[in-house]
Amino acid sequence: MMKFIKIVFILIFILSPLFAHEGANAQENHQKEHHETPKLVIGIMVDQIRYDYIYRYWNHYGEDGIKRLVNEGFSFDNTHFDYAPTFTGPGHASVYTGTTPAVHGIIGNSWFLKDTGGRTYVTGDSDVSTVGSDSDEGEMSPKWMLSTSISDELRLHSNMKSKAVGIALKDRGSILPAGFTGQAYWFDYTEVRMISSTFYMDELPNWVNEFNDRDLPAQYVSEPWETLLPIETYTESIEDDNRYEGTFRGQDRPVFPHDLPAYAEISGNGIFANTPFGDTYTFEMAYAAIEGEELGRDEYTDLLAISFSSPDHIGHRYGPASKEVQDTYIRFDREMARFLNYVDDNFGKDNVLIFLTSDHGAAHNPEYLRDLGLPTGNYNRSETEELLEEQLTEMYGFNPVRTLRSTQLFLDYDAIQENGARPEHIQRDAAEILIRVDGVAGALTADALRSGTFSDSIHQRIQRGYNPSRSGDVIYWLEPQWFSSSRTVGTTHGAPWSYDSRAPLIWYGWDIPAGNSTVPVSISDIASTVANFINIPYTTGNTGTPMNHFIYENR
């Protein structure tokens, strides 16, 4: 017995330094007390960034920008939008409300209004006015959103002492993140300045007026847009002169250098938003907001939501294979390095929580794919609407089609009631007609979407994108890499497939360890994760699942 006790003491003596070392490591890896919160949360959304852009251009990035985020932060490499369609409005709403269009109601960038037969823009609001210019570009608000955002919950939690600011060139990129109680600023493309609306304020703060007085757009279009690095090194992209890309007005061929002074003479200085300098402008506005609002300077956590709209403008015109898109991200990397250094100098990395993600991806240009012999196609919506009207009229003796918008069929309920037909039967027959159309991958009726349970991920995404009060009676989607237009240049998005649904998601700063995970997470999981980091309630419509435990288990 005594011999056994001696052995135990010897083992304790030998192993105790190891236990102490492990304990020290655990303490070192988890510096923050649970009640502590960062001084500032910075949400960065890059409009149309595909996941592969992080690595496709890796060898051209510096060490302090995107590489720093990846190497020092925590990356979720299997992040998807868990709904469709994938557009800018739904993307921003889903990230900041922590739910999907089924709940927050933002089903597109615009949609058909069943009650009036009209159409609404995602942030359109004729009851408010522009602040900061004489145009109508400020008649905007978040009134169509049905859930609070994390900006709202942060403000409510602090009794309105925390600040929340949304910044973007696109109105929807700033308004939906800022929510109902923050401040939102966006770019007036007609008067070439940052503005807001009377929903948020009666007049612009002095710091915004001072920013506008700098007239940065005039500087950005004063010289041609040339590649930042020698163009011959951009081997990750196709030849500069090709038939898959669009042009500026007044431009003959889509090639470098782009003569911005000449094109600005035709289209105005707002043309800079269609270049990488739109990102530079947005970063400058972010610096002005941090300084002007004194964000992160007191005991209350603040939130800054920055959305970079120019990559979407550029991507639509040139497509993912272009040298213009490559140059955009190489330049964005340099601006990101400057921003991270600014955060370090002014707050310290460990006092700021940053996340970077996207609002949707993008497809390759269909003509480019066709030339490579890859599956692709163009679907004609007008022909499909005519087919539905013709065949349903033949089946029922009257035309029950009200309209076909995007990939949604809306039925004429007045005509259906007058003729004594059953809406669910017409929905079913319309879906059967649709799935026989060349290029249509599937269709689901509103009846099935309201009551069905699906195991297939694509069907689940369609269901989460369906809002009963706003969506159509039949929702359908196209085969991979099919386009619902005759577009031959640039690209578009909106599909449920991986090229549109997969997004980068990187967490950085605060109590974030370096690492990565391929565990499946959704874009709607971001808001509840932020809420856990800053100890505030989840949004009113939250359906996402926090991913904090995935981050910490990798310590």
Give the type of residue at 227: T
Report the percent of the chain where pLDDT is more than 70. 94
Helices (H), 30-143: 53-56, 66-72, 88-97, 101-104
Distance CA 525, CA 547 (A): 7
442: three-class secondary structure by DSSP: strand
Check whether residue 165 and residue 76 sit in a common domain: yes
Check whether residue 276 and residue 416 sit in a common domain: no
Range of the domain at 332: 40-369+504-552
Check whether residue 238 and residue 261 sit in a common domain: yes
CATH of the domain at 453: 3.30.1360.150
Per-residue pLDDT band for 13 (boundaries 50, 70, 90) equals very low
Q: Is 88 noted as a catalytic residue in this protein?
A: yes
Catalytic member of 37, 79, 86, 88: 88
Check whether residue 389 and residue 365 sit in a common domain: no
pLDDT tens digits, residue range 73-100? 999 999 999 999 999 999 999 999 999 9
H-run or E-run covering 471? none
Check whether residue 523 and residue 430 sit in a common domain: no
Q: Which tokens in the block code for residue 10?
A: 């010897």
Check whether residue 331 and residue 400 sit in a common domain: no
46: three-class secondary structure by DSSP: strand
- Domain final residue, candidates 461, 478, 495: 478
The Cβ of residue 230 has, within 10 Å, a number of other Cβ atoms equal to 7
Residue 211, domain member (yes or no)? yes
Which residues, 6+ apart, have CB-to-CB distance to 387 below 8 Å? 433, 437
Which residues, in sequence order, are bridge partners of residue 405?
A: 408
Domains of the chain: total? 2
pLDDT tens digits, residue range 206-238? 999 999 999 999 999 999 999 999 999 999 999
Check whether residue 455 and residue 509 sit in a common domain: no
pLDDT tens digits, residue range 147-164? 999 999 999 999 999 999
Residue 27, domain member (yes or no)? no
Per-residue pLDDT band for 537 (boundaries 50, 70, 90) equals very high
CATH of the domain at 174: 3.40.720.10
Check whether residue 131 and residue 253 sit in a common domain: yes
pLDDT tens digits, residue range 237-266? 999 999 999 999 999 999 999 999 999 999
Check whether residue 429 and residue 282 sit in a common domain: no
